[in-house]
Amino acid sequence: MRIRARPISVGIAEGAALVSKCPVSFLGDVNPETGEIADRNSDVFGEKITGKIFVFPESRGSTVGTYVLLQMRKKGTAPAGIIMLESEAIVAVGAIISGIPLVDRPEIDVLETIESGEAVKIFSGREGWIEIDR
């Protein structure tokens, strides 16, 4: 099944999905050393985003968050790709400079459709889409 989405950071990525229903800030909510979700209120607290296709609704928080993705890339703890319902500047720029593909505004609600653990592919170029086995 192909889900159309808006390409924000270009590239191709695949991996197991990790779906967070809560908004995420990369400064504070994610531990860049381990790649684990550090926000105790999150529904995916303690899960690793490393190598995953990280799916979450939106981000919040400080502009320093841009450099957190870069740090994670350097340490090898970054996600393989990101899907957001609505992206914003901090995560978008962080993903671009870190070479992490990112798409947003999927045509269906992926928070309901995609389940944590299932295999997901992202294509982000002139056009963008998400592929899942259904």
Where does this chain bind other proteins (CB under 8 A)?
A: 6, 8-10, 63-64, 66-68, 70-71, 74, 87-90, 92-93, 96-97
Which of the following is catalytic: 9, 25, 59, 62? 62
Q: Which two tokens stand for residue 25?
A: 């800030």
Using the 8-state DSSP alphabet, how is residue 123 labeled? E
Residue showing tokens 């056009």? 127
Torsion of CA 72, 79, 122, 124, to 10 degrees: -10
Of 34 and 116, which CB lies nearer to other proteins in the complex structure?
Answer: 34
Residue 46's contacts (CB-CB under 8 Å, 6 or more residues apart) are: 36, 37
Of 26 and 54, which CB lies nearer to other proteins in the complex structure?
Answer: 26
Is 62 an annotated catalytic residue?
A: yes
The least distance separating other proteins from the CB of residue 99, rounded to whole angstroms, comes to: 9
Of 7 and 15, which CB lies nearer to other proteins in the complex structure?
Answer: 7
The least distance separating other proteins from the CB of residue 134, rounded to whole angstroms, comes to: 28
The least distance separating other proteins from the CB of residue 84, rounded to whole angstroms, comes to: 11
Phi, psi dihedrals of residue 70, rounded to the nearest 5°:
-65, -45
